[in-house]
Structure 1
Amino acid sequence: MNKSFTEILEKISMHDHLTDHEASLAMKLILHGDISDEEIAAFLLGMRMKGETVVELTSFVQEMRSVAVPVEVDTKHAVDLCGTGGDKSGTFNISTTAMFIVAGAGVPVLKHGNRSVSSKSGSYDVLELLGAVPNLQKKQVEELFNKTGMAFMFAPNFHPAMKYVMPARRALKMRTFFNILGPLVNPANVKCQVIGAFNKETAKKMIQILGNLHTENAYTVNAHDGLDEVSTTSQSEIFELKTHLSGDSVTFDPISLGYEKTDHNSLLGGDAKQNAQILMNVLEGKSTKAQRDIAELNALFAIRASNITDDLEEAKEMAVRSIDSGEAGKKLDQFIKESQAIAAG
């Protein structure tokens, strides 16, 4: 017999974990608009206070994927690189910058993103300011990817059921498990990912969820300085998924790949305009060394995750060449022009 949503709320209020069936039912009811804003807020808060399990989160991801608008393209070697957000770091848009370095290295990119939620400037905001059209629908995204080997999928266009959750998330004004789910529900169902997490525990949960969902290659990372990226200011904890899940994280030091340590202030961004300028400077070889290094470092992990190479040193060479040859900058130009043309019809 199905438990009602009220019974599920009762259960989590007692700090009892949900079964996979209960978690799926709760998410299904929410995503079909059957639950009030107040009940959704209670559910989000209750889950946060209790602590979400990998079983629960895997079920939530499966339900969200089942109602998403699918992007139907060839995903071989295609990679998504994004973070959970919520690290409150104030850095420039590192993964958005890295996206073009990765594409310039010949690796397909299917990036899933949003407007800013917790930062001054989300990936959507920066791409829009650069002149690209990030607000594309399914067929347009498929066309853009098939033409350029790159796509940006604006989350609200592919997860329309999330409209039922937004009022509760806005009212709570705090991080909820949806910060964890966002990077796990790529509409193209990519098999290669790099995901930055706001703490090590979340990075560990996310790699386990990806393992449950038949992802082929993935890294989840959390830096010791708190960044949801691979950092150049500190060491980072990195979990890796290949054909099987490696047990615990590996502590990665950027010095091992020849990167100098820097300080947090050297990575700070600002609003979308400032961040767009930093992105262009990196791709044009005009940025500071610290800005280039962290974008390049995150790009090389994405190149490695794509499985085009299984060697981090070779992935670094590909990232360096992408910038120095101008290919990364050309990919940005191509992305802007093609997205404009497709949006104009």
Structure 2
Amino acid sequence: MSKEFTSYLEKISILENLHPEEAKSAMTDILNGDVTDSEVAAFLMGMRVKGETVEELTAFVEVMRNASVTVEVDTKGAVDLCGTGGDKSGTFNISTAAMFVVAGAGVPVLKHGNRSVSSKSGSYDVLEELNAVPNLDKKKSEMLYNETGMVFMFAPNFHPAMKYVMPARRAMKLRTFFNMLGPLLNPADVENQVVGAFSKDAAAKMAQILSNLDTKSAYTLNAHDGLDEVTLTGQSEIFELKSHLSNSSITFDPKSLGYERVEAEELLGGDAKVNAGIIKDVMQGESTEAQRNIVTLNAAFAIHAAGAAESLKDANEMAIKSVESGEANRKLQQFIKESQKVAQA
């Protein structure tokens, strides 16, 4: 380990913030594999205890984006929707389901995600259970997106240096700042995003980081029930980034779009097999009302963030029509078929 990295550990151990250049240096050392798993774990824990600043996190993202493999496609009008994970809610894969509703409404989706780290089923796990092929490299991801207007980019294929971080993350089994950074590292450099966060503070920080990094349009959000999605059990705090970042969150109530409140139990999922079954049911109009509604609600925010609708109300109507017309299910089936085809190419 370098003397510099030792000094960064010393600094954060006494709750001192790193300067942006120090934060960049520390992340560069980690991504180069120059520090041990235990030292990575010490750094992650130290940052968690100290509390990460927006300046530190922005510096980390810049280094990680520079180290990533870029997916070169036309991102105009496209959106990424994902959550940080780490909310311990046990819900089904809502943003993964919403991906097909958004695509069914005519909005391209550049989704970035991973296997589960802190839940029973990550995006990768549930897509695999649906018989899609989520493990595609750069070239095949570009082919799939150009063919279908949808792609799932499996994080390890585009952030190879993250292999130096995963042993520490898995051993710790705790939420770390990487939960926050993951959604900010889209390999296609998508301009429009909806990012669910595990806390209001995390949502606020992520909005500021996206603003620092010239994102065009984004919603970052956290629900009052702790969900890293827009919830139906109550209200959600939402930060909006358009031409500029709003200074404070708005409190969104799903009743404003005509949705009824539900109990948290109605949104629960299980392992990848259970969650894949729920997604199929939503797409085929056979799910519970609560399951369908939370998917269309989150899809509405993505459609609006992408600029495909003038208002959230219009976006919500597009999302509902996507499901009711069968377009969302058609996009799911197309994604499964074409991802299999591309994988064999």
Q: TM bucket by the smaller chain?
A: over 0.9
Following TM superposition, by how much is the alpha carbon of 1:310 offset from its aligned partner in structure 2, in angstroms? Answer: 2.9
Q: Which runs of 5+ in 1 are unaligned?
A: none
Give yes or no for the alignment of 1:60 onto 2:60: yes
Over residues 280-335 of structure 1, what are the superposed CA-to-partner deviations in whole Å (9 max), with x where a residue is unaligned?
A: 11111111100000000000000000012230111011101111111100000100
> 1:301 & 1:198 partners in 2: Cα distance?
18
When the two structures are superposed, what TM-score results if normalisation uses the length of structure 2? Answer: 0.98
**1:150 aligned partner:** 150
Q: Counterpart amino acid of 1:121?
A: S
Q: Counterpart amino acid of 2:169?
A: R
**What does residue range 72-221 of structure 1 map to in structure 2 within 5 Å?**
72-221=72-221
**1:303 aligned partner:** 303
> 1:8 & 1:86 partners in 2: Cα distance?
26
**2:262 aligned partner:** 262
> 1:92 & 1:172 partners in 2: Cα distance?
24
**What does residue range 13-24 of structure 1 map to in structure 2 within 5 Å?**
13-24=13-24
Instruction: Detail structure 1 runs of 4+ shifted over 6 Å in the superposition.
Output: none
Q: Does the 8 Å contact 1:80/1:193 carry over to 2?
A: yes
Q: Counterpart amino acid of 1:168?
A: A
Following TM superposition, by how much is the alpha carbon of 1:3 offset from its aligned partner in structure 2, in angstroms? Answer: 7.0
> 1:262 & 1:39 partners in 2: Cα distance?
44
Q: Counterpart amino acid of 2:330?
A: K
> 1:242 & 1:175 partners in 2: Cα distance?
29
**2:247 aligned partner:** 247
Identity %: 69
Q: Does the 8 Å contact 2:196/2:229 carry over to 1?
A: yes
When the two structures are superposed, what TM-score results if normalisation uses the length of structure 1? Answer: 0.98
Over residues 257-296 of structure 1, what are the superposed CA-to-partner deviations in whole Å (9 max), with x where a residue is unaligned?
A: 0000000111111111111111011111111100000000
Following TM superposition, by how much is the alpha carbon of 1:167 offset from its aligned partner in structure 2, in angstroms? Answer: 1.5
SS at match of 1:269: coil
> 1:173 & 1:77 partners in 2: Cα distance?
36
Give yes or no for the alignment of 1:46 onto 2:46: yes
Q: Counterpart amino acid of 1:144?
A: L
> 1:81 & 1:316 partners in 2: Cα distance?
15
Following TM superposition, by how much is the alpha carbon of 1:44 offset from its aligned partner in structure 2, in angstroms? Answer: 0.7
> 2:104 & 2:173 partners in 1: Cα distance?
37
> 2:281 & 2:67 partners in 1: Cα distance?
39
Over residues 125-171 of structure 1, what are the superposed CA-to-partner deviations in whole Å (9 max), with x where a residue is unaligned?
A: 11111110000000000000000000000011111000111111122
> 1:337 & 1:262 partners in 2: Cα distance?
34
Q: Counterpart amino acid of 2:130?
A: L
Over residues 97-130 of structure 1, what are the superposed CA-to-partner deviations in whole Å (9 max), with x where a residue is unaligned?
A: 0000000000000000111111111111111111
Q: Does the 8 Å contact 1:3/1:22 carry over to 2?
A: no
> 1:174 & 1:338 partners in 2: Cα distance?
36
Q: Does the 8 Å contact 1:120/1:272 carry over to 2?
A: yes
> 1:46 & 1:273 partners in 2: Cα distance?
36
> 1:266 & 1:322 partners in 2: Cα distance?
22
Over residues 188-239 of structure 1, what are the superposed CA-to-partner deviations in whole Å (9 max), with x where a residue is unaligned?
A: 1101000000110000000000000000000011000110000000100000
Q: Does the 8 Å contact 2:117/2:170 carry over to 1?
A: no
Q: Does the 8 Å contact 2:118/2:173 carry over to 1?
A: no
Give yes or no for the alignment of 1:225 onto 2:231: no
> 1:51 & 1:221 partners in 2: Cα distance?
19
SS at match of 2:336: helix
> 2:343 & 2:57 partners in 1: Cα distance?
35
Q: Counterpart amino acid of 2:110?
A: L
Following TM superposition, by how much is the alpha carbon of 1:29 offset from its aligned partner in structure 2, in angstroms? Answer: 0.8
> 1:305 & 1:73 partners in 2: Cα distance?
19
Following TM superposition, by how much is the alpha carbon of 1:14 offset from its aligned partner in structure 2, in angstroms? Answer: 1.2
> 1:66 & 1:3 partners in 2: Cα distance?
24
**1:316 aligned partner:** 316
